[in-house]
Amino acid sequence: MFANRILIAKVAPAVTLILAGAILAYAISSETPVGSIKGKVIAQESGNPIWAQVSLQGQTGKHGRYESFQKESKDGTFRFENIPAGEYTMSVECRYRQAPPIKVEVEEGKTVEIDVEVPPGSPFVDLYIHQHVFTPDERAQVTCRGYLESRTLDLSIYKVNLDAFLKKYYGSLQRLLGIRSYYWDGDSDEHSKVDLTRITALTRVKTFEQAIEYHESDGIFTQRIDLPALSPGLYVVAVRGDDIQRLGWIMVTSLGLVTKTAGSELLAFVTDLKSGAPAASAKVSVYSNSGEAISGTTAQNGVVSFNLPTKQGEESERTIVATSGDSFAFVSAYMSVTRGPGNNVVYAYTDRPVYRPGQTVYFKGIVRKFVNERYQAVAGKPVTVEVRDPRDTLVYRGALITNRFGSYHGKFDLNPETATGTYSLVTIIKGEGREKGTTFRVAAYSKPEFSVKVGFAKKRYIRNDQVKARISASYYFGAPVVNAKVSYIVRRTPYWLFYEEDEDFSDYEYEDYGGYGEIVDEGELMTDNNGVAEVAFRATWPEPETEYGWDNDQEFFAEVWVTDSSRRGASGSGSVIVTRGKFALNVTPDRYVVQPGSQVRISIEAKDYDKKPVPNKKLTAVVGREYWIEDSYKFDRWEKRRLTTDRSGRASFEFKPKRAGNIRVTVVSQDSRGNKIIGSTYVWCYSEASEDTGAQFPDLQLITDKKSYRPGETAKLLINVDEPGPTALVTVEGPRIYDKFTVKLSSKSTAVDIPIKSAYRPNFYIGVCFVQNKTFVEQQARAKVSLGAQKLSVKIETNKKRYLPGEKATYRIKTLDSAGKPVSAELSLGVVDEAIYAIAEDRTEPILDYFYSRKPNEVNTQFSFPQIYLSDPDKAAALAKMPRRAPSDVYIRKRFLDTAFWKPDIVTDSNGEATVTFDLPDNLTTWRATVRAITLDTRCGQAIGTVLAQQDLLVRLEMPRFAVQGDTTTISAIVHNYTGSEQKVKVEFKAPGLKIEGNTTPRINVPDQGSRRVDWIANVPKPGEFPITVRATCQITGDAVQIILPVYPHGEERTATITGELAGNASKLLYVPVRKDSIPEATKLRIRLAPSLASAMLGSLEYLAQYPYGCTEQTTSAFLPDVILQRTMKELGIRNAQLETELPDMVSKGLFRLYRFQLGGGGWSWCEYGKADPWMTAYVCYGLLTARNAGFAVNNDVLSRGLDKLADMVKHPKLDVETKAYGYYVLALAEKGDRKAESQPAQQLVRLSRRQDLNNRTLAVMTLGLVHVGLIDQA
């Protein structure tokens, strides 16, 4: 053994050396061979090195690995080191030139040297005019850049005849020059074709040659050109080099023109372009495509106003021109009228936000006319309501008339074959165009059984708190979801807290700068007997690295998924904000604009984030003047106050500003954790004298003394400017221009008074603008006006809070005005299953917000001078009081609805009351009642209330929505017990026609506040509709439910037709072939006796109804006879009231089904899915064309896409001649107009008619096609 050890010791070093050598050899053999490439890029014509981007792409090595490298060469040289050996393609791109691709082979250990000569690109020249408008004492300048063989540029300047420019070309240089664009980035070829000497509206005033003074290494030049002095006017500048022409424009004027437009209103403000002084007696003309529309003269303040005739919904371009002496200015503005004085406003909504195909949609609309700043009810007005699907197919059109409240309502049934997606409902008022509508969704949804809510013990937490998220799962009938599996994820994302001073203290907003956030925690839990689970986590996050980061709050999200015992799931989420302090300080002055020496009162509120006051809190207030000096803000402290909040969390003090300027008031406190709490505000102190305030002013600043006003008050507006002198235009704006005046800004601060009118409600905008030193300066401030009496209070009361399914419910509704007095109003009441809102939220804008919400500023402002480009209660206790039925009273629940009740025209009496009573459906759920109310004088409001429909013992049935013959499926019954004690429950399961595995009458023990599930395996032997019934009873109560299970046949549907004739009393024996493998339950025999062929065709209606699940061919073949019958009835004058009612609906079902079958490329397959087939696409297009010609509304987009696809498919060279001929025949049917014979389909039919191998069917189709296009001789 000892000897063996010695041997191993001697052998080991040798083995190590051998292995090391092998590894080294392998490493050397496997090392990638590399080489290098170097070179330079030069201009071919000069040899100068030029900037270039050099790229290498290639495949290297025995495995063909793709390699890519890139270098930027500023001085023309480049070098690629350690490039894997192999073949590459080198690409060289320069600024306006490009070399052809170069093949390069890199060898191991070698350097390839390449000099690339890049030929020049095509000559080009660009004209840049950075500033278009110049005053008469300025020299205009333009810049040219390009590459030319020529060393000079030829410039020509043409003056535009103003009269022709405005009257003949309607103020458009594009029309005058005959080009699409006259800007420097336009089409150079288009510019080069313009012969300026032939345009009579142009007069050449200057022509000169400009030498190109400097070229870069690649030959590109940039040349600035000073233009000669020009008199006031509009000029076209043309630059030409190497037969390339570029066009631009400049204007020389001393005038500036500001326009404001809103609907048909136009305000013009004409000023001196440099000083900003108003231009009195300037002529202002408005031009449209038809010439001069209207003109006027400015007053002493430089302002003139017009009211132009503009139709609602119409948008037209107008050119506004101001002239004074030799100078003029112009602005192009788009005028349009949407909502404003005299216009109709429509508030429309549906009974709920989402529907299934085949369900009924209820809708209501309210029409108001805006006249003299008030709404008026539009009574007795004809309106048309149109509903369109996501493909823009018209699915409903109804003619209605508004009632005395200006409202209308209706309903329509969705087609069972309708597409899912978002639908639009639009109201068209007779003679006044299309108005705003609403949208709703159509989805093949399955309602959730329960809801999941995530809540937190507190509304706000403070950093490092322990946060508990409470997850609560409850069935819509009110019971908790017990012992359910909960999966959760907690995420964190940063938020920045801010609130506007003009809002209530509690109205703050958050702005999200994060995505889904960082995961803080995740895991799984189970709900307890109350359906509750809790997730606890620490609300902490990394300290910010900068002081600025201390403004950073956080929002924590909890996202959960809950699965109950029936394997049904639902999700929920919640979030909570974590702040850095326990309370906040709100500091507000009684006025924001004051004068030196005036009394200013500062009010301080200390509130926590639940809006509760923080009393006895010590505060330190500092008042001083903030001013700008030596590129930074300084603070001159005037006084310091020690304060303490009272029982209501308030404190206040007064001070007098010592001098003009920006006065800052800062209040500091501390919470119990030592967090510093800071609140501050600013007061602007102005002086009528030109006192140096020490403030750094912007060009223009607006400060209002208050943020909210009442009608009749006067707002004080402070206008601050950096450079005094100009005259400013002040406007009060909103949907229109309410008021206007000018003010001379003689000092840096100017105060103006603005009376507040009721028409400004709920908000208005103050616009201030002026012109100074060729610069247009504009600023806007927003203020609120109290709504006061416009708000209507709506209250909903029910005779009970909990009902049995199917029980009678009574709703009592009250409407009160803002003073609490009863008022008569019209209202709509919709009672909808709460589970619907888990599928789609109700996003209908609240009615008060719609009519009186923050109005946007619809005033558009333009200027003639272009810019220079440089914990909850225990649910179990509550459920013990559930309503109960005795076992003998148990009835089978069958009537399940999503909308329990809808009535759109309830009117409360003089006491403001209305009462409605209706039977609830059989749903066990929460019913949400939504009431929207409006008075004749457009006071409005809404309310939401909920009631429960529940039982203390209930059974839920879980099964698939449908089955197919031969399927095996699981059907489950879940029994819930809320009787207050454990119950022994007998469960009876009945499913006649199905084969059931398992005990159909089990007895189970169901614990109190718990549930038990029973499963059965069902075999589906035959098609049909099968009622599934489950009954659950105990000694004291019970429940039963029945749901229909549709079962579809497993096979292909086929039809056999036999016809014959009978005369007199004769009889005839007919044999109908029936295959041995047919499905008896899905096989039907129909015998129809008709006195004529036309009468026999009436049966096609019922034939269509037999194909709700047929293929594309069956669907098309089903509705085509009905289309032809409809057309025949019209042509022959046959009247049949039932057919005239049913036929459009039957055809509509077929159309919608074909729309759904259309493939993404536009064609159709033989079934819903598959590859587009030429013959089937032609057949469907033929059907759609036939339906359209018969007067049915056909979706043009669907038809157009189908025809485009067909036109592409018939070109295939391998397509058989019969299908090709049929395709061109259908395409020919789509042709319209007098030149059908010259169309492509017609010519192809002529070409095919010369073939000798056509069968009779092909000849017949081609003959019909040739006749249709008018080629009778060829036919």
Chunk the chain into consecutive blocks of 10 residues (it has 1275) and report each block's average pLDDT, rounded to whole numbers: 34 40 42 87 90 85 68 89 89 86 90 91 88 88 91 94 82 80 54 90 94 90 92 93 91 93 90 92 84 84 85 66 89 64 80 93 93 85 91 88 95 87 90 76 85 87 89 87 91 61 34 55 90 90 48 79 87 86 84 83 85 89 81 79 90 89 87 82 74 62 82 88 90 91 90 88 89 88 77 91 90 91 95 90 89 82 61 37 61 89 95 94 91 94 90 87 89 88 91 90 89 91 91 90 89 74 77 81 75 55 44 77 73 66 75 85 82 90 88 86 90 86 86 74 80 79 80 71
DSSP state of 196: G
Q: How far is it, in rounded angstroms, from Cα 715 to Cα 706?
A: 7
pLDDT at 913: 94
Strand order from edge to edge, sheet including 808-816:
793-798, 808-816, 913-919
Q: Which helix (H) or strand (E) holds 267?
A: strand 265-272
1269 Cβ contact list (under 8 Å, min separation 6)? 1228, 1231, 1236, 1237, 1239, 1241, 1242, 1245
Q: How far is it, in rounded angstroms, from Cα 258 to Cα 284?
A: 11
pLDDT at 2: 35
- Give the E-state strand segments of 590-675 in sequence order: 593-594, 600-608, 618-629, 632-644, 650-655, 661-670
Torsion, CA 638, CA 644, CA 650, CA 653, rounded to 10: -30
**Is the CA virtual torsion 960, 964, 965, 967 positive or negative?**
negative
Query: How many other C-beta atoms are found inside a 10 Å radius of the C-beta of residue 75?
Result: 12
> Is 365:348 a contact under the CB 8 Å cutoff?
yes
DSSP state of 1273: T
Query: How many other C-beta atoms are found inside a 10 Å radius of the C-beta of residue 1264?
Result: 14
Task: Give how far the C-alpha of residue 261 lies from the chain's centroid of Cα atoms, to the nearest Å.
Answer: 27
pLDDT at 788: 65
Q: Give a three-class secondary structure readout of 487-551.
A: EEEEEEEEEEEECCCCCCCCCCEEEECCCCCEEEEEEEEECCCCCEEEEEEECCCCCCCCHHHHH
* Burial environment of residue 713 by CB neighbours within 10 A (0 to 12, 13 to 18, 19 or more): middle
Residue type, 278: P
Whole-structure pTM value: 0.60
User: Which among 1188, 1010, 1228, 1225 has a CA at the least distance from the CA of 483?
Assistant: 1010
Which tokens sit at 1207? 């036109």
Residues of the chain by 3-state class (helix, strand, coil), percent to 5: 15, 45, 40
> Is 299:175 a contact under the CB 8 Å cutoff?
no
> Is 970:991 a contact under the CB 8 Å cutoff?
no
Up-side HSE of residue 1226: CA atoms within 13 Å toward CB? 28
Preceding peptide of 762 cis, ω within 30°: yes
Q: How far is it, in rounded angstroms, from Cα 764 to Cα 710?
A: 12
197 Cβ contact list (under 8 Å, min separation 6)? 204
Q: How far is it, in rounded angstroms, from Cα 272 to Cα 773?
A: 9
973 Cβ contact list (under 8 Å, min separation 6)? 955, 956, 957, 958, 987, 989, 1013, 1014, 1030, 1032
Query: How many other C-beta atoms are found inside a 10 Å radius of the C-beta of residue 854?
Result: 9
Q: How far is it, in rounded angstroms, from Cα 509 to Cα 495?
A: 10
Which tokens sit at 880? 């013990």
pLDDT at 199: 93
* Burial environment of residue 1263 by CB neighbours within 10 A (0 to 12, 13 to 18, 19 or more): middle
Q: How far is it, in rounded angstroms, from Cα 1119 to Cα 1148?
A: 9
Q: How far is it, in rounded angstroms, from Cα 827 to Cα 943?
A: 11
Helix axes 1240-1249, 1256-1268, angle to 10 degrees: 140
Q: Give a three-class secondary structure readout of 1203-1250.
A: HHHHHHHCCCCCCCHHHHHHHHHHHHHCCCCCCHHHCHHHHHHHHHHC
Residue type, 128: Y
pLDDT at 936: 94
Residue type, 574: G
> Is 830:930 a contact under the CB 8 Å cutoff?
yes
1065 phi and psi, to 5 degrees? -100, 20
CA–CA distances in Å: residue 323 to residues 162, 260, 667, 771: 10, 18, 56, 17
Task: Give how far the C-alpha of residue 125 lies from the chain's centroid of Cα atoms, to the nearest Å.
Answer: 42
